[in-house]
Every structure is written in structure tokens, then in C-alpha cells.
Amino acid sequence: MCYSAQIRADYTKLVREYGAMLSLDEFAQLYAHDAGKQRPKTPKAMDDGFAGARTPLGQEIVARIQQWHAEEMQALDEEVRLQGARLKAAEAQLAARPTQKARNEVRVAGNRIDRAQTRLSDLQRAGLVPRDSRIFPGVYAPVIVSEQGQRVIKPMRYQCRLPDKPARNDVLYPGTYNARRDSLEAYWKSAFGHQHGVVVVQSFYEHVPRHALEQRLLSPGETAENVVLEFSPQPPRDLLIACLWSEWEGPEGRLLSFAAITDAPPTDVARTGHDRCIVPIRPEYLDAWLNPDPQDLAALYRILDDREPVTLAHAEAA
């Protein structure tokens, strides 16, 4: 399954290259500061994509993002202060009487300080680096869908919650960020043939066993080790990844979310030891995919079968 991907979040290019309209209303709702709402998990590239917005609503979105940034930076500053005091106390205890508890306190406090400072640096940094465009389950991404024949870009969470499922399923079934092809007419039947989208990615990531990657058996006594591989199309280009999406409403509010369809992997992925892969569709099938006929599922399977031919290079992720 695809647990992470490098997305395209340059709205100007997405609009220009894919003829899509940006749903500012949906982005404004995502970034709204509703009572009791936690900050939505969004990649920095998606936030920064609104810099320089010219419309009143676009500028309002920028203001809301900046408000979230300010609140988070204040919380991170406090975290650094608290963990700094914790670290100082643990180091004093370690100097007076070395114990495993004190060593653990030093380690935990140091790690939390590092994480907080890294996040602070990311929030304050002006330029983008590759990790700023990376999504994981639970993180939002811009997804292209169709509304009355018009391609539209909406922000959606990468883990799909179907309309008839309770919110607790997010925890009970954490793998619902991928929709297996062999379950499209079972678990995913309310979305397959009804609500299709694509997410534009430039690379994706998979966990694979190191011994499988090295095409060998485990040695006696050897423990299996996972390695994260980044798969990138060669030559570099966008991939239109087939997705299903859902609009959910309940006591917790409204949620737009999506899952990437996975199928048997191409040779480039299979030879690394991984058994599933996301499905890139051909650009010429984009409108047919985004506007599915629920009475002709066979046509949708043909799109998934006649997928975009691509050579994938892989390397261990940094």
C-alpha cells in the first residue's frame, strides 16, 4: 500500500495544466477557526500555495493560515520551554545519581525539543523543500474531482471515511487511506462508480522488507528489517493517481476524505518485494474517470487496467 506520497500543491499550475477550478470555499472551510477545532494537518506546500492570493476570499484563507501558524508557534515555544526545564532537571539527576529513568528523561526531553524546534523552523521558513509536499495518512491534499462536468480542486484528508461509517472507524481500520481493487465492489461500493478523483503526485513511498529488496532469504537468527523506498517516474513527471472520495457528516462535523486505489504492482515495484501499488491513469481518461457511470463498472476497470505506462526508479528515502 502507498503510505506516503509527494504531491503537487502548486495551485496555479494545477489550474493551468489540468483545467481545474480551485474551490476556495472548501479551502476556507478547512482553515476556518471553528470553536473546539484542532488545526487540520496540511503540508507546508499546501499552506504556502495561497501566498500572494489576490481575491478577498484567497486573502482571508491566508489570514486564517497565518492565525493557525501563530497559535502553533506559541504552543511550540511553550513546549520547548517545558521540555528544556525537564531536560535540565534530568541532567542534574543523572549527574547526582545515574539511573535508567534519568537517562530516559534526558532522551525523551531532547527528542521533544528537537521535534518542536524543527517544526518551528518549518513554520518560519520562507522557501520550500521536498518534504513540504509530502503527505501521510491523516494529512490533507488537493484532490481533483468533477462537479457538473467541471474539474474542481478540493482539499481532502488522506484516509477515507465513507458516509455510512462512524468516525471511530478511522482508528479501528487505519488502512482506509488505500482502496484495494479487489474490494471496490464490496467495502468501497458506495464510492466506486460514484465519487472518483485524482491526486497529482511526483513520487510515492513504500515500506519493503530489506531482505526482499536484496532478493535474498533471511539469514538464521536475522530479524526482518523494513526500509522506506521512494519511487519516482523516469523521466520525472506528474502521475494522476486514481482515487475514491467521500463527503461525511456527523456530530464531529463535515469531512472530505479520499483513498488511493491500489492494485498488483508493476514490475519496477514488485522486484523490490512490495505487493501493492497505487494506480496512475492515463491523462486522456481523466474526464471519464472523474465522471463515472455506475451502470458501467467494466469501463472503469478498463481505465484501471490500461494505466499510464511509467518507468519507476527507486531509492531509499532520506
Reported as a single tens digit per residue, the pLDDT across 17-72 is: 999 999 999 999 999 998 788 999 999 999 999 998 999 999 999 999 999 999 99
85 & 226 share domain: no
Cell numbers describing residue 161:
471515511
What distance lies between CA 212 and its chain's CA centroid?
Answer: 26
Residue 36 has what pLDDT?
81
User: With 70 as the cut, is the pLDDT of residue 167 above it?
Assistant: yes
Torsion of CA 104, 110, 112, 116, to 10 degrees: 180
148 & 32 share domain: yes
163 & 24 share domain: yes
Q: Which of 187, 204, 185, 180 is nearest to 276 (CA)?
A: 180
Domain CATH code at residue 174: 3.90.1680.10
User: With 80 as the cut, is the pLDDT of residue 165 above it?
Assistant: yes
Q: Number of structural domains, the chain?
A: 2
Q: Which of 129, 161, 195 lies at the terminal end of a domain, its last residue?
A: 129
145 & 119 share domain: no
204 & 305 share domain: yes
Reported as a single tens digit per residue, the pLDDT across 9-29 is: 889 999 999 999 999 999 999
User: With 90 as the cut, is the pLDDT of residue 3 above it?
Assistant: no
113 & 148 share domain: no
Note if the pTM is more than 0.85: yes
**Alpha-carbon distance values, 157 to 26, 122, 161, 296, 299 (Å):** 12, 21, 9, 28, 27
162 & 75 share domain: no
55 & 193 share domain: no
Q: Which of 101, 129, 157 lies at the terminal end of a domain, its last residue?
A: 129
Strand partners, 239: 201
Residue 233 has what pLDDT?
97
171 & 272 share domain: yes
User: With 70 as the cut, is the pLDDT of residue 81 above it?
Assistant: yes
Q: Which of 86, 104, 129 lies at the terminal end of a domain, its last residue?
A: 129
Reported as a single tens digit per residue, the pLDDT across 169-180 is: 999 999 999 999
145 & 221 share domain: yes
Average pLDDT over residues 122-136: 95
What is the average pLDDT value for the chain, to the nearest integer?
Answer: 95
Average pLDDT over residues 224-231: 94
22 & 10 share domain: yes
Lowest mean pLDDT among 4-8, 160-164, 192-196, 243-247: 4-8
- Which range marks the domain in which residue 182 is found? 4-38+138-316
Residue 1 has what pLDDT?
56
190 & 311 share domain: yes
Residue 9 has what pLDDT?
85
